[in-house]
Structures are given as structure tokens and as C-alpha cells.
Amino acid sequence: MSSKVSVALVLPDLLGTYGDFGNAVVLEKRMTWRGIPAEVVTVNFGEPVPDSCDIYVVGGGEDTAQTLAVRHLREHPGMQRAAGRGAVVLGVCAGIQIFGESFTRADQVTHPGLGLIDSTSHAGGSRAIGEVVATPADGLFEGVLTGFENHQGRTTLGPAARPLAHVKVGTGNDGSVEGAVQGRILCTYLHGPVLPRNPQLADLLISWATGVELKPLDLPAVTRLRAERAKAAGV
Ligand code: GLN
């Protein structure tokens, strides 16, 4: 790791629905508030993807945008190289679909993914839209996971990937489990963005990247946001 923990915000111009860039901002802020020097490196469409960053953040997008994103990321495989050496990677919504082996769009055409996680995705019969509440799997972090979903794709995990959480309200991957974890690659269908709404998940990613065990930050605005969104989701 260099003197600063670098967070690559990957293709926000293609994959950035619902302010998913906020995930990179939250990672950077939660590190700097703790005295850990950090920076966000933005990589737009058409630009090479560095392989030297510590954390990579990919957001959501519609089917055409995610197909273009896969093409770009295959031509510039810096993130995949970094993942291979253990960098932390977060994929949201389209992210979980493009990180898998393949995704089949609503027109039934199957597109290759990046093969970073053991999963396949296919367009479901209806869009999953609304608030999601899920319980973290395997005690990955404390509290419930909440967020907002809007996707047509459904994702099936293979044996090498495990779920991030178990769905209580909403759909997630398939109405039963939500997201995926494989090594230090973590995926979710949740927007919100997901890290402002789930600071314990942000801290899990930071602790993976830095090896530092983090004490929680006392941020009343975040506590209020979580309570308000949990109420909106009916819990
Ligand atoms: N295009 C994908 C779907 O609709 C992902 C949507 C998103 O990222 N919000 O399933």
C-alpha cells in the first residue's frame, strides 16, 4: 500500500445510478476521519484502469451501459489484476452482474462477465424495486443491511461465492439471498448509496484493505439516516 489508501471509482460515467459514487466518498471520509490518509481516483470510460489501487468501487447501470463497461474493463484489466493480488472490490447492482461469469439480458442474449465471482445473472420477469432489509450472513458485520433496489436481473451464486446477507424485505439476488462475497470481492444489489446507509459495511471494506481493526465512528446524522430508512422499509 502507498502512503495513501487509494479508492478507485470505476466508470462512474457509465455505472453510477442513484449516486453510487457516494460509496467512494464514504470510504475516503471514514478513513480520513480516523487519520488514515486516503484518496479517490476516478476512472472514466475510455481511460485505462490502474492496477495499483487498494479498493475498487463499481456502481449500478442499465443493461447497455453495463455491457459497454465489461468491454472496457476487459480491454483495461487493471481492476481484475488488482483483485487477483487481493485488492478489495465492491460491486453494486450492475456490478454484481458484470463481476460474474455471464449475464443474460431481457433480449435473452447472454454476455460474458469478468469472471471475478462464481455467479451468473439473467433478466427476471419483473423489476425488483423498493427498499430492502437483509441480515448479514456468517456474522460478517453487525446490524441489518438496508438499501434500495431497482433491477431486472436475478443472480445465482455458485459454490465459490457465498451470500452477503439473507433477505427479510425485498428481492436481492433471488428473493432469498442478497449479494455475494468471494475473497475480498463484495457485491450487493443495494443502492442508497449502500455505504452511507450501512457504515458497518464500509468499515468492513476499510479493515480488509488496511488490516486495521476499526472502532465505530459516532455520527448522529448517519444514525438518523439508518433509523429513517429502516422505518421506510417497515422495520
Ligand atoms: N441492468 C441491471 C438490471 O436491471 C442493473 C440495474 C442497476 O444497476 N440498477 O438488472
What residue ranges do the domains of the chain occupy?
Answer: 5-232
Ligand 1: distance of its center to the CA of 175 in Å?
16
Answer whether residue 87 shows pLDDT above 70. Answer: yes
- Number of the ligand 1 atom closest to the C-alpha atom of 150: 9
Tens digits of per-residue pLDDT, 207-218?
999 999 898 899
CB neighbours (10 Å) of residue 154? 21
Burial of residue 219, with CB atoms counted within 10 A of its CB: 0-12 exposed, 13-18 middle, 19 or more buried: middle
- Class of the CATH domain delimited by 5-232: alpha beta
If you measure from the C-alpha of residue 105 to the centroid of ligand 1, how many angstroms do you get, rounded to a whole number? 10
pLDDT at position 1, please?
54
Residues tagged in the binding site annotation? 127
3-state secondary structure of 72: helix
CA of 140 to the centre of ligand 1 (A): 25
Mutational pocket test of ligand 1: of 18, 20, 97, the residue with most ligand atoms within 8 Å of the beta carbon: 97
Least Cα distance to 49 among 22, 71, 18 occurs for 71
| Predicted pLDDT at 2 | 63
For the segment 49-70, what is each residue's pLDDT rounded down to a tens digit?
999 999 999 999 999 999 999 9
Residue ranges at the known binding site for substrate? 127
List, chain by chain if needed, residues with CB within 6 Å of any ligand 1 atom: 17, 60-63, 66, 93-94, 97, 150-153
Please give the share of the chain, as a percent, with pLDDT higher than 70: 99
What global pTM score does this model have?
Answer: 0.96
pLDDT digits (tens, 9 = 90+) for 176-227: 999 999 999 999 999 999 999 999 999 999 999 999 989 889 999 988 988 8
CB 122 within 8 A of CB 111: no
For residue 123, give the ligand 1 atom closest to its CA. Answer: 10
pLDDT at residue 230, rounded to an integer? 84
Residues in the chain, total: 235
Asked if residue 131 lies in contact with residue 233, where contact means CB atoms within 8 angstroms, the answer is yes
Q: Which three cell numbers stand for residue 122?
A: 439473467
